[in-house]
Amino acid sequence: MEEQIRKAVGAALRKIGAPETVFAVERPSVAAHGDYATNAALAAAKALEENPRELADALARNIKDAFREAERVEAAGPGFVNITLSREAVMFAIAEADAQGPEWGKGSENAGQRVLIEYTDPNPFKEMHIGHLMSNVIGEALAQLIGSGGAVVIRANYQGDVGPHVAKALWGLREAGIKEPSTAREIGEAYVAGSRAYEKSLDVKAEIEALNQAIYAGNDHELTELWRKGRDVSLAGFENTYRHLGTHFDYYFFESETAQSGMRIVRDGLRKGVFEESEGAVIYRGEKKGLHTLVFITNKGTPTYEAKDIGLAFLKEERVQSDHSIIVTAAEQIGHFKVVLAALEELAPTIAAKTSHVSHGFLRLVTGKMSSREGNVITADGLIAEITGKASEKNADPLIAEQVAIGAIKYMVLRQAPGSDIIFDPEKSLSLEGDSGPYLQYALVRAKKILAYAGGGGGTDTPGAPYAIERLILHYPEVAARAARSLAPNLLVNYLTELAGEWNSFYATEQVLGSPEEEYKQRVVRAFANTMGNGLALLGIPAPEKM
RNA sequence: GCCUCGAUAGCUCAAUGGAUAGAGCAGCGCUCUUCUAAGGCGUUGAUGUGGGUUCGAUUCCUACUCGGGGCACCA
Answer for the pair A160, A255: CB distance below 8 angstroms, yes or no. yes
The protein residue nearest B19 (Cα–C1') is A77
Pair (A487, A421) in one structural domain: yes
Nearest protein residue to nucleotide B68, judged by CA and C1' positions: A421
Query: Whose C1' is closest to the CA of A39: which nucleotide?
Result: B18
Residue-level pLDDT at A371? 62
Mean pLDDT within A262-273: 96
State whether A312 and A460 are in the same domain. Answer: no
What separation, in Å, do the N-terminal and C-terminal C-alpha atoms of chain A show?
A: 35
Which pLDDT does position A376 carry in this prediction?
65
Least confident of A230-234, A254-258, A398-402, A418-422: A418-422
- Identify, with chain letter, the residue nearest to nucleotide B22 (CA–C1'): A29
Q: Which nucleotide is nearest, taking the CA of residue A482 and each C1'?
A: B16
A43 CA vs B52 C1’ separation (Å): 22
Distance A400 CA to B54 C1' (A): 53
A385 and A521 in a common domain: yes
Interface ipTM > 0.90? yes
The whole-number Å distance from A387's CA to B54's C1' is 49
**Which nucleotide lies nearest residue A373, CA to C1'?**
B74
The answer to whether the CB of A227 falls within 8 A of the CB of A170 is yes
Nucleotide nearest to A525 (CA to C1'): B35
Q: Is the pLDDT of residue A261 over 90?
A: yes
Has residue A112 been placed in a domain? no
From the CA of A17, how many Å to the C1' of B1? 55
The 10s digit of each residue's pLDDT in A87-129 is 999 999 999 999 999 999 999 999 999 999 999 999 999 989 8
Distance A149 CA to B44 C1' (A): 44
User: Which CATH number covers residue A433?
Assistant: 1.10.730.10
What lies within 8 Å, CB to CB, of A323 at 6+ separation is A113, A114, A115, A354
The total of other beta-carbon atoms located within 10 Å of residue A273's CB is 8
pLDDT at A453 > cutoff 60: yes
**Nucleotides of chain B within 7 Å of a protein C-beta?**
3-6, 12-20, 23-26, 34-41, 54-56, 68-75
Mean pLDDT across chain A: 92
Is position A114 within any domain? no
Q: Which of A365, A395, A422 is the last residue of a domain?
A: A365
Q: Do both A335 and A472 map to the same domain?
A: no
On whether residue A519 sits in a domain, the answer given is yes
Residue nearest to nucleotide B56 (CA to C1'): A78
Asked if residue A63 has pLDDT above 70, the reply is: yes
Q: Which nucleotide is nearest to A421 (CA to C1')?
A: B68
The total number of structural domains in chain A stands at: 3
The CA–C1' separation of A333 and B20, in angstroms, is 42
pLDDT in tens, A120-142: 999 999 989 888 999 999 999 99
> Does A482 score more than 90 pLDDT?
yes
Average pLDDT score over residue span A350-361? 94
**Measured between alpha carbons, how far is residue A384 from residues A379, A402, A407 in Å?**
9, 8, 10
For residue A286, list its beta bridge partners: none
Instruction: Please indicate, yes or no, whether residues A189 and A291 belong to a single structural domain of this protein.
Output: yes
Last residue of a domain, one of A34, A68, A85: A85
| Lowest mean pLDDT, pick from A9-13, A28-32, A44-48, A169-173 | A44-48
Q: A162 with A31, same domain?
A: no
Residues A315 and A422 in one domain: no
How far does the CA of A319 sit from the C1' of B58, in Å? 46
Residue A45 pLDDT level (bands cut at 50, 70, 90):
confident
pLDDT at A375: 58
Does A374 have pLDDT greater than 60?
Answer: no
- A484 is in which domain, residue-wise? 381-539
Write out the E strands in A222-312.
251-254, 276-278, 281-284, 294-297
Instruction: Establish if A111 belongs to a structural domain.
Output: no
Å separating the CA of residue A85 from the C1' of nucleotide B40: 28
Confidence of residue A22 (pLDDT cuts 50, 70, 90): confident
Residue at A193 is within a domain? yes
Residues A353 and A385 in one domain: no
Question: From the CA of A511, how many Å to the C1' of B34?
Answer: 8
In 10 A of CB A51, how many CB atoms?
12
User: A35, A65, A85 — which closes off a domain?
Assistant: A85
CA distance A378 to A376: 7
Same domain, A361 and A404: no
The reply to whether A93 falls in a domain is no
In a domain, A412, yes or no: yes
- When pLDDT is averaged across residues A11-24 and rounded to a whole number, the result is 85
Output the pLDDT for position A429.
Answer: 66
Closest residue (CA to C1') to nucleotide B71 in the complex: A292
Confidence label for A426 from pLDDT (cuts 50, 70 and 90) = low
The verdict on A319 and A220 lying in the same domain is yes
Domain co-membership, A361 together with A394? no
- CATH of residue A242's domain is 3.40.50.620
Average pLDDT score over residue span A350-368 = 86
Rounded Cα distance, A265 and A307, in Å: 8
CA–C1' distance A509–B32 (Å)?
14
**How many residues are there in chain A?**
547
Q: What is the CATH number of the domain that holds A38?
A: 3.30.1360.70
Query: Percent of chain A scored above 90 by pLDDT?
Result: 73
Q: What local confidence, expressed as pLDDT, does residue A84 receive?
A: 94
Taking 70 as the threshold, does the pLDDT of residue A341 lie above it?
yes
A281 and A332 assigned to the same domain: yes
